[in-house]
C-alpha cells in the first residue's frame, strides 16, 4: 500500500491535524491494515498510560503544605502591588531559570553581585563595564519612574545630554519605548543611561567616561566598521552587548535582542552618538 500515513498518526490521534488532511488519513486507515494496526496500538498505549499515570494517591497533606507556604509568604512580606508588578517583570526579563537561580525576590546586594560576576565571566573587562550597569540599574535596580514623563527623562538626563533621547528613540525596534533616562552610578562609576522597554524586554544605552588605558580593542577584535567607527560585540547569557569608544567615552548598547539586531542598532546610531559625545556632560 503506497502513501502510508505513519508520519501523520500522532497528529491525527491528537486532533492536531489540519481539517484538509483529516479525511485523507481516515480513508487510508480504513483501507490499510498496517497503518491501522499502528494507529490502534498507539491509541491503546495512550489510553493505558493515561490510566496508569492517573492512578496515584495524592499526598494527604498536599493542600495544607501548599497553603502554609503561601501563608508564610503572604504574612512575611505585606506587599505593595506596584513593586510586585515590577518584580514580576524583572523575573520575566531575567528568564525564569536565571531569575530562579538568583532567587529574584530576595536578591541581596551580595547575591546580585555574585550573579553579575557569574554571568559576566565570559566578558572582557571593558564589556563588563557596560554590562554591570545594565544588570544593576535596569534589571535589578528598578530605578524607573513610575510614569512615563518625557520632561522628567530629559530633566534627569541633563540638558546637555538631552539629544541622546531622540538618538535612541529613533532607532529602537518597533514596540519599544524609551521609558527612562538618567545619570547613575554603579560601583563608583558614573553612567549616562537611557532605557527602552517593550513589555519584559529592556534595552540600555550607556555612556561612561573612559578610564586610562580602557579600550575595547585591547581584548577584542572589532566586528563591524561600516560607519568608520569600529564596533565590538559580545554576548552573556541571553544578553547581547555592543560597544564602541570615542576619545572620552565608552558607549554600550545592551539588550536581549539577537546579536545581529543589537549590533546593527548600535551601528545605525554610532555616527550620531559619536558626534554628540564631545558635548555630553557627566
59 is in the binding site of which of another protein, Zn ion, none (Cβ under 5 to 8 A by kind)?
another protein
Rounded CA-CA distance 88/100 in Å is 12
Using CB under 5 A as the binding criterion, the count of chain residues that bind Zn ion stands at 8
187 is in the binding site of which of another protein, Zn ion, none (Cβ under 5 to 8 A by kind)?
another protein
Nearer of residues 39 and 171 to Zn ion, judged by Cβ: 39
Among 9, 17, 35, 135, binds Zn ion (CB under 5 A): 35
Task: Please name which of 88, 119, 81, 80 lies closest in space to residue 105, comparing C-alpha atoms.
Answer: 88
If one asks whether residue 139 binds Zn ion (CB under 5 A), the answer comes out as: no
Rounded CA-CA distance 172/178 in Å is 8
Task: Please name which of 153, 265, 138 lies closest in space to residue 200, comparing C-alpha atoms.
Answer: 138
Signed CA dihedral, 108, 84, 145, 92: sign only: positive
Select the span of 15-23, 43-51, 162-170, 179-187 touching Zn ion (CB under 5 A).
179-187
If one asks whether residue 134 binds Zn ion (CB under 5 A), the answer comes out as: no
Select the span of 46-54, 133-141, 149-157, 266-274 touching Zn ion (CB under 5 A).
133-141
If one asks whether residue 27 binds Zn ion (CB under 5 A), the answer comes out as: no
Rounded CA-CA distance 135/129 in Å is 11
Rounded CA-CA distance 190/207 in Å is 9
Query: Cβ 145 to another protein, closest distance in Å?
Result: 10
Please give the residue ranges that form the binding site for Zn ion (CB under 5 A). 1, 4, 32, 34-35, 137, 184, 193
Amino acid at each position: 500500500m503506497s502513501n502510508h500515513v505513519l508520519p501523520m498518526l500522532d497528529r491525527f490521534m491528537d486532533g492536531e491535524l489540519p481539517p484538509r488532511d483529516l479525511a485523507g488519513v481516515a480513508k487510508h486507515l480504513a483501507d490499510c491494515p498496517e497503518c491501522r494496526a499502528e494507529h490502534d496500538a498507539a491509541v491503546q498505549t495512550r489510553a493505558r498510560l493515561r490510566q496508569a499515570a492517573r492512578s496515584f494517591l495524592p499526598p494527604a497533606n498536599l493542600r495544607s503544605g501548599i497553603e502554609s507556604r503561601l501563608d508564610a509568604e503572604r504574612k512575611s512580606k505585606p506587599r505593595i502591588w506596584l513593586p510586585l508588578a515590577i518584580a514580576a517583570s524583572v523575573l520575566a526579563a531575567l528568564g525564569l531559570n536565571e531569575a530562579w537561580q538568583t532567587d529574584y525576590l530576595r536578591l541581596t546586594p551580595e547575591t546580585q553581585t555574585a550573579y553579575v560576576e557569574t554571568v559576566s565571566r565570559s566578558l572582557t573587562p571593558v564589556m563588563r563595564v557596560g554590562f554591570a550597569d545594565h544588570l544593576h540599574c535596569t534589571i535589578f535596580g528598578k530605578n524607573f519612574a513610575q510614569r512615563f514623563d518625557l520632561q522628567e527623562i530629559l530633566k534627569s538626563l541633563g540638558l546637555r545630554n538631552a539629544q541622546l533621547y531622540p538618538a535612541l528613540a529613533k532607532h529602537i525596534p518597533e514596540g519599544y519605548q524609551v521609558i527612562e533616562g538618567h545619570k547613575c552610578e554603579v560601583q563608583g562609576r558614573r553612567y549616562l543611561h537611557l532605557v527602552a522597554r517593550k513589555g519584559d524586554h529592556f534595552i540600555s544605552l550607556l555612556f561612561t567616561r573612559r578610564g586610562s588605558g580602557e579600550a575595547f580593542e585591547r581584548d577584542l577584535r572589532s566586528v563591524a566598521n561600516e560607519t568608520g567607527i569600529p564596533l565590538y560585540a559580545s554576548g552573556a547569557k541571553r544578553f547581547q552587548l555592543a560597544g564602541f569608544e570615542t576619545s572620552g567615552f565608552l558607549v554600550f548598547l545592551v539588550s536581549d535582542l539577537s546579536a545581529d539586531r543589537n549590533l546593527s542598532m548600535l551601528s545605525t546610531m554610532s555616527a550620531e552618538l559619536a558626534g554628540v559625545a564631545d558635548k555630553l556632560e557627566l
